[in-house]
Structure 1
Amino acid sequence: MEDQITRTIELKAPIERVWKALTDHDEFGSWFRLSLHGPFKVGELTLGVTEYPGHEGLPFWARVVAMDEPRLFSFIWPMDESIRPDDPELDHKTTRVEFTLEPTASGTKLTVRETGFESLPENRRLQAFRDNQGGWDQQTANIKKFVE
């Protein structure tokens, strides 16, 4: 099994616009279909609930790892909504998401990479990977529509 999911998309929007869509919690929530309760800050949790059809009201959290404007935004998040951020086994229940931005002649190249599936419990690993593969297909389409 692979340990990472990678999606790359060309966006017809300036890098500053894409950066804001990724790092402003209200904008991120809009295209990712979340209601977030506060801003993204390095080292801190951002909490919220999902608004995605069929998953409405489920808890969401992410801990920001890096914000290197306008090139890199990264966070860890749980493999499912039952994982709490104070779980002592958190290293084996989260994956890392990185958004890397590069300016192009026509806008911005966005690469989304999620890693860490190998550290998840063996009985959950494959399903989490499959679910997130489809999820990133949808989310890259969502951000494209949002910023263009």
Structure 2
Amino acid sequence: MNHDDQNHHDDQNQNNGQNHNNGQGDRAQRGGSGHRESPDSIEREVLINAPAERVWRVLTEAAFLGSWFGSGEPAEIELRPGGKLLFDHGAHGALLARIEQVEPPHLLSFRWSQGRPGEEPVANRATLVELRLTPVATGTRLRVLESGFAGLAIARPAVQRHRQPNDRGWAGKLNELREHLERQAA
């Protein structure tokens, strides 16, 4: 998500829906994404009118991942802890991630590099992305938590240069996913 070409959506365009509450204080917006902020992490969530199993299938499909996060070429995905997840960003190079957890259809987490294209995602040069799927009456609540910005071994201004586009990017990417899945169901 750390590439300008992925950040063409802004938060204003993402918050045009109705708020929902799951009784635990979590918020997600229909047609947009709920948002929490801290210096170390980004947290967003969205309600998708599709069962968790279908959301999971799309989130782990190489062709969809390649168009969602990459240049359109299928991503490489080894769906197992320690497996490789590689997004082709064309002129921007390859974005490498390592899968941490796989619990179908509820949790997928991976560490992705915040360094140079193709760089292995090591702890002080990567953030952890957790995608949590929770079945709800209207479909699935997808929560994304990207954390580890405070631990990046780069100067504070550079941390913000990584965090800010990722923050904006997640709003757009979650809406793209929601729209894709809901179009499929129609």
TM class by shorter chain equals: 0.7 to 0.9
**Percent of counterpart pairs with the same letter?**
30
Q: How does 1:54-133 map to 2 (within 5 A)?
A: 56=91, 58-82=93-117, 84-85=119-120, 90-120=122-152, 121-123=154-156, 124-133=158-167
Find the partner of 2:55 among 2, 6, 18. Answer: 18
**Which blocks of at least 5 consecutive residues in structure 2 are unaligned?**
1-37
- Bigger radius of gyration: 2
1:86-116 Cα offsets, whole Å, 9 max, x none, are x7xx221100000000001110000001000
Q: How many residues align?
A: 141
Select between 42-51 and 97-106 the one with higher mean Cα deviation.
Answer: 42-51
- TM (normalized to structure 2)? 0.69
What is the rounded CA distance, in whole Å, between the counterparts of 1:71 and 1:92 in structure 2? 27
1:53-104 Cα offsets, whole Å, 9 max, x none, are xxx452121100011011100000011444611x7xx221100000000001
Task: With a CA cutoff of 8 Å and minimum separation of 6, indicate the structure with the bigger relative contact order.
Answer: 1
2:78 corresponds to 1:45:
no
Return the offset for 1:137: 1.1
